[in-house]
Structure formats: structure tokens, C-alpha cells
Amino acid sequence: MNFKIGDVLIPNQFVLAPMAGICNEAFRLICKEQGAGLLMAEMVSDKAIAYKNQKTLKMTKVNEHEHPISMQIFGASVDSLVLAAKFVDTCTDADIIDINMGCPVNKVAKKSGAGASLLKDPELVYEITKAVVNSVSKPVTVKIRAGWDKSSINAVTNAKLIEKAGAKAITIHGRTRADFYSGKADYNIIKEVVEAVNIPVVGNGDVIDIHSAKEMFKTGCKAIAIGRGALGNPFIFRELNSYFNDGIILDKPDNKEIYDTIMHQYDLLLKLKGERLANLEMRSHIAWYIKGKPNSSKIKEEVFRQNDFNKVKEIIANYLL
């Protein structure tokens, strides 16, 4: 089932959630090929854009095969977020601009007052969203959490203000900032947000398979953002599309397909980042791809000892094929 964010048509209800250090072009393309309806790039700093940091500017590049794609910005200042949004609006091929108000990590939320820290000040949430919306032509969305902690759950208040400010959709993770990723996401809070606003709500948190997706859809959310559930398992997007669109439960990928996907992702990373960084980044992804398989811990250790990907390729081929 498709839906729209502003004037951008999203072909299905399954979104790749932004993950820092993971959602680069290579991983995004893998997820797109597996059926992700909307890709979200890893967040970029408003200050880094303002200072024209070349590494950050490179992260805003969009491959022609990635559409529709959302570029996520983070910061704590209205002016610098507006500047960053204008850059994404006019200097990138992103279709949507997303403001991060949900990141829980200390570097973002505590030290810089960005990410989930903004949730403590609903007036600032409104001011930032309105200023960004008024400064760009592309649809603006906002990513939030349930609140800062259990004593300050204010997702409904923030969601209403975000809608009032002109945002075209909201993604809500059903945990507080204090929760980080512990415990379970509270789907009741997501349901409350869905019922409080008229713009599309994208539910986020703990969706790893068909069963958990069914539970998330009970909130009434328009779509589901999948982050950690896609690590080592980009196939989740095709599985969910097959089930919810056609009622068909697909077989899990066999070892040959997992091997081929690992190699395909490495080739994409090699073109994107060069041999040294591609080798380093693929170590983690390989660990995710083989997690839960027999003797995978030993294979992971072997992979992490290698600097030559040809040797890694040999280890994985002997293990999977």
C-alpha cells in the first residue's frame, strides 16, 4: 500500500530507519533492492554543513536509484538547522528533509542539546519545525521519541505542535531517551500519536519480522521504520512486502543468497569508500549477516583479524557455501 509524504509518493509502507555509521549509500541500495519503500540517510550535523565539512557534504550525495530518499539533519539551533535544511533543499537530490529529535546518544542529546534533548522543550520543537518548513520547498518530517524519560512522556504534545508547524509526517520511536534501546518499545504511545494527528505517522521500534510488524500496524501507523531489524537482514523488506501486500510468507534467504548479498554490499562500499574503509565497515555487517548461525562467533573472530578482503571472502565462502 503506497502513501504520500507531502507530494512525495512512497511506494510501500516499509521504511529504512536512519542509523548513524550504517545507512550509507551502499547499505541503502541493498535495502532498496530488497524492497524498502523509503530510504533514510544517516543523520548529518547542521554545523558540519555550515562549515562545509567535506566528509559530511559527501554523505549528502544521493544515488539516482535511491528515490524516494529522506535526508536527516540534526542540531539545536533554529538558524543553523534552517541553513542545513536549505542546503539539503537546494544542493542535494533528497526528496524529503527530516529533522532528528530522537537520537539518544550523549554526544548528540546531552553535549550538543540536539536529538532527543529537544523533546524537553515543545516550544522549541515547534519553532524549529516551523522555521525549517517555511525555509524549504521539500516536505519536512520529524523523528521523535516518546519523551526524555518516563516522567516526561510528551510525544502527543510534541506531535501536535510538529503537525501545527507544517511537517508532513512524524516518525516516533516508542522509547524514551532514557531507555536508549533497552526494554520494549511502547506501542501504546505510538497509537496515541496516531490518534492525535492527521499527518502520516511512521512507527519505529522492535520490528524484526512479520509478527512484530503486525503488532506495530495495530497502532494505526501508516508505515513502519525498520532500523536494527534490517542489520544483516535487508531481506526483511521483501518479506514484509510479500506478506502484507500479497499474503505470501517467503522462505528465508539461503546461504548462497546471503553470501552473494555480502559480496554485493562490499562491491558497493568499495566504490563508495575505497578498500581500507570498505574492509573495516564490512566486518560489522558480516557479523550481522551470520549472527545466530552455527559457529558464527568463531567466524566473526576470524573475519575481524583480516585486513585483506580476499581472505575474508575465502572465510565466508568456506563457511556459507
**End-to-end alpha carbon distance in the chain:** 36
State how far the Cα of 253 lies from the Cα of 265, in Å rounded to an integer: 16
φ, ψ at 14 (rounded to 5°): -120, 120
Residue 67, judged by CB atoms within 10 A of its CB (0-12, 13-18, 19+), counts as middle
State how far the Cα of 59 lies from the Cα of 41, in Å rounded to an integer: 8
Q: Is 97 helix (H, G, I), strand (E, B) or coil?
A: strand
State how far the Cα of 49 lies from the Cα of 105, in Å rounded to an integer: 20
The grid coordinates listed for 57 are 557534504
Active site residue 103: yes
What distance lies between CA 203 and its chain's CA centroid?
12
Residue 113, judged by CB atoms within 10 A of its CB (0-12, 13-18, 19+), counts as middle
Tally Cβ neighbours within 10 Å of residue 247.
Answer: 7
State how far the Cα of 301 lies from the Cα of 309, in Å rounded to an integer: 14
- By C-alpha distance, which of 161, 162, 190, 160 is closest to 175? 190
Tally Cβ neighbours within 10 Å of residue 211.
Answer: 9
State how far the Cα of 13 lies from the Cα of 20, in Å rounded to an integer: 22
Local structure of residue 254 (DSSP, 8 states): -
Catalytic residue among 23, 31, 91, 103: 103
Q: Is 179 helix (H, G, I), strand (E, B) or coil?
A: coil
The residues that are catalytic are 103
